[in-house]
Amino acid sequence: MDPHPDLTPEVIRGLGWLYLLLAAMNALWTWREVKRHVSAGSIAGWAVFTTLLFLVGVAHVTGGAEPEQFLIRMPEWFKSRVDQLAKPTTYFTGSLLLFVAVIWLREWLVKPTVAWVLLNLAVLFMCLSLTDYDFRQIVGKPDNVPIVSMLFIVGFFTWLYFRRAVDNDQRIAAGRPLFEQEDNDKILVWPDLVYTEMICMIALTAILVVWGVVLQAPLEDPASAVRTPNPSKAPWYFLGLQEMLVYYDPWMAGVVLPSIILVGLMALPYIDFNKKGNGYYTFNERKFSIITFLFGFIPLWIGLIILGTFLRGPNWNFFGIYEFWDVHKLENLNNVNLSELVWVDTLKQPLPVASAGASEWQKILAILLRESVGLVLVAVYLFVLPPLMAMTIFRRFFVRMGFLRYMVFANLVLFMACLPIKMVLRWAFRLKYIVAIPEWFFNI
């Protein structure tokens, strides 16, 4: 069977409505530009763009054309290029670069026109991609629809944050009052807040009902303990954790690291000693905490959920967004342990093992000897780095925080860093475990 059936008339019509929605949004935008009296050239540009979108939308909705002959679609060369480039490495580096770029270019990005162009590009990219069968299979799954919208929503709120933060930072620099301090009288909760809440509830109810009518909740075949689906995925909000399983064993990825995330979140207010930035948006006044939290939330949490949901297919292999989820795709999995790299590759001798009739203690010693380099590295990471950092990069923090607070903080940062570190080690050296003691289920 052809794994890539083409467009159907229903899909084309659905896409048409998306284009029309985008056209309507751009019509409003053009109207805004007219009201703001921007240059005639730019108004004309937006008007032409809106008209084009409208025509494309109408052509889709009324389209009597054969789906095979349909012209507006993602070009094949682009799709194959994207799929070739798609690897965990490129994905993660890409999301890191994006993260750095957003922070770097924040003053430019918060301009409404820039954001609007980016939004247009994102929606157009979605529309064009939806002409691809394999893309539709994954993105169109009912349970995945909320995740796609989450992408847009998180993007929007991050933008909103930077907009208010950049504004406040400029006010602070110029010695003007904060945005939150202007026009901030006390007002009565009835009617102002109560009515907002009521409108909000009505709107949400409407959204939920429409969503429920349009999109049916998924129900697959009855449960069967013998037929394992491939891939077997945890619920979407835990897919970041499932992705960590690629790099760490379940006791780390499924138990220790999630616990650390929670402990870290709860400890946060007691670690952050910076009194500034309480009750208003700012970036410059709390750079370190904002960057750390954003890094954990955007590339590591949301980013890995997206990766786990859309890019991990059968056997948890990595697939490009336009790639067919082929169960037989082979991936080279020749990862090696640090102990093998040290003993076999470097020292050119076999891994140490206890001789046949050895006592319990001799066996334990042999294991410890085998893994000695990894164990030392881990010990250095956890016990030597914190004091070292206290004397160097985190000196200021150590002085302000005191010993206990600083130790908690340093360990949390180290645990947060251990995921990217292991990723890089895996990609650079095919490293499987730093410490590999399967005898005790103790692999790091």
Partner 1 sequence: MSIGEYIRDSQIWKSIFRHPAPYDRRNRVVVMLTNFFLHLHPVSVKKQGIALSYTWCMGGITFFLFLVETVTGVLLMFYYRPTLEWAYNDILALRDVTTLGIMREIHRWAAHAMVITVWLHMYRVFLTGSYKPPREFNWVVGVLLLVLTLLLSFTGYLLPWDQLAIWAITVGSNMARATPFLGHEGPGAQILNLGGFDLITNASDARFILLGGRFVGENTLNRFYILHCVAIPLVVAGLIAIHFWRVRKDGGISQPL
Name which of residues 275 to 304 contact partner 1 (CB under 8 A): 275-282, 286, 290, 293, 297
Long-range contacts formed by 396-405: CB under 8 A, 24+ apart:
400/273, 401/271, 401/273, 405/270, 405/271, 405/273
Distance CA 119, CA 101 (A): 17
- Burial of 356 by CB count in 10 Å (0-12 exposed, 13-18 middle, 19+ buried)? exposed
Query: Smallest distance from the beta carbon of 198 to partner 1, in angstroms?
Result: 11
Of 160, 161, 178, nearest in space to 169 by CA? 178
By C-beta, is 174 or 219 nearer to partner 1?
Answer: 219
Distance CA 138, CA 1 (A): 19
How many CB atoms neighbour CB 130 within 10 A? 20
Q: Which two tokens stand for residue 421?
A: 């570190």
Interface pick for partner 1 out of 173, 187, 333, 347 (rule CB under 8 A): 187
Binding flag, residue 442, partner 1 (CB under 8 A): yes
Binding flag, residue 211, partner 1 (CB under 8 A): yes
Beta carbons of 162 and 103 less than 8 angstroms apart: no
The three-state secondary structure class of 75 is coil
Query: Smallest distance from the beta carbon of 291 to partner 1, in angstroms?
Result: 12
Binding flag, residue 201, partner 1 (CB under 8 A): yes
Tell me the site size for partner 1, rule CB under 8 A.
90
Query: Smallest distance from the beta carbon of 209 to partner 1, in angstroms?
Result: 7
Q: Which two tokens stand for residue 88?
A: 């965990």
Phi, psi torsion values for 401, nearest 5 degrees? -90, -30
Binding mask 422-441 for partner 1 (x = CB under 8 A): ------------------xx
Distance CA 416, CA 108 (A): 30
By C-beta, is 80 or 196 nearer to partner 1?
Answer: 196
Cross-strand pairs, 312: 318
Binding flag, residue 238, partner 1 (CB under 8 A): yes
Query: Smallest distance from the beta carbon of 195 to partner 1, in angstroms?
Result: 11
Residue with tokens 């140490």: 352
Helices (H), 255-336: 257-271, 287-295, 303-306
Beta carbons of 259 and 404 less than 8 angstroms apart: no
By C-beta, is 48 or 189 nearer to partner 1?
Answer: 189
Interface pick for partner 1 out of 125, 152, 237, 429 (rule CB under 8 A): 237
Beta carbons of 339 and 370 less than 8 angstroms apart: yes
How many CB atoms neighbour CB 390 within 10 A? 19
Cross-strand pairs, 318: 312
Distance CA 178, CA 192 (A): 22
By C-beta, is 12 or 419 nearer to partner 1?
Answer: 419
Interface pick for partner 1 out of 270, 288, 383, 429 (rule CB under 8 A): 270
Residues numbered 297-356 forming contacts with partner 1, rule: CB under 8 A: 297
By C-beta, is 216 or 332 nearer to partner 1?
Answer: 216
Binding flag, residue 194, partner 1 (CB under 8 A): yes
Interface pick for partner 1 out of 68, 183, 331, 345 (rule CB under 8 A): 183
Binding flag, residue 233, partner 1 (CB under 8 A): yes
By C-beta, is 53 or 298 nearer to partner 1?
Answer: 298
Query: Smallest distance from the beta carbon of 211 to partner 1, in angstroms?
Result: 5
Distance CA 392, CA 438 (A): 37
| Contacting range for partner 1; rule: CB under 8 A; set: 112-120, 223-231, 355-363, 413-421 | 223-231
Q: Which two tokens stand for residue 168?
A: 């406040």
Query: Smallest distance from the beta carbon of 187 to partner 1, in angstroms?
Result: 5
Binding flag, residue 223, partner 1 (CB under 8 A): yes
Binding flag, residue 405, partner 1 (CB under 8 A): no
| Contacting range for partner 1; rule: CB under 8 A; set: 63-71, 77-85, 198-206, 343-351 | 198-206
Residues numbered 33-92 forming contacts with partner 1, rule: CB under 8 A: none
Interface pick for partner 1 out of 197, 326, 327, 395 (rule CB under 8 A): 197
Residues numbered 137-156 forming contacts with partner 1, rule: CB under 8 A: 143, 146, 150, 153-154
Phi, psi torsion values for 259, nearest 5 degrees? -65, -40
Residues numbered 239-258 forming contacts with partner 1, rule: CB under 8 A: 241-242, 249-251, 253-256
Cross-strand pairs, 442: 437
Query: Smallest distance from the beta carbon of 232 to partner 1, in angstroms?
Result: 4
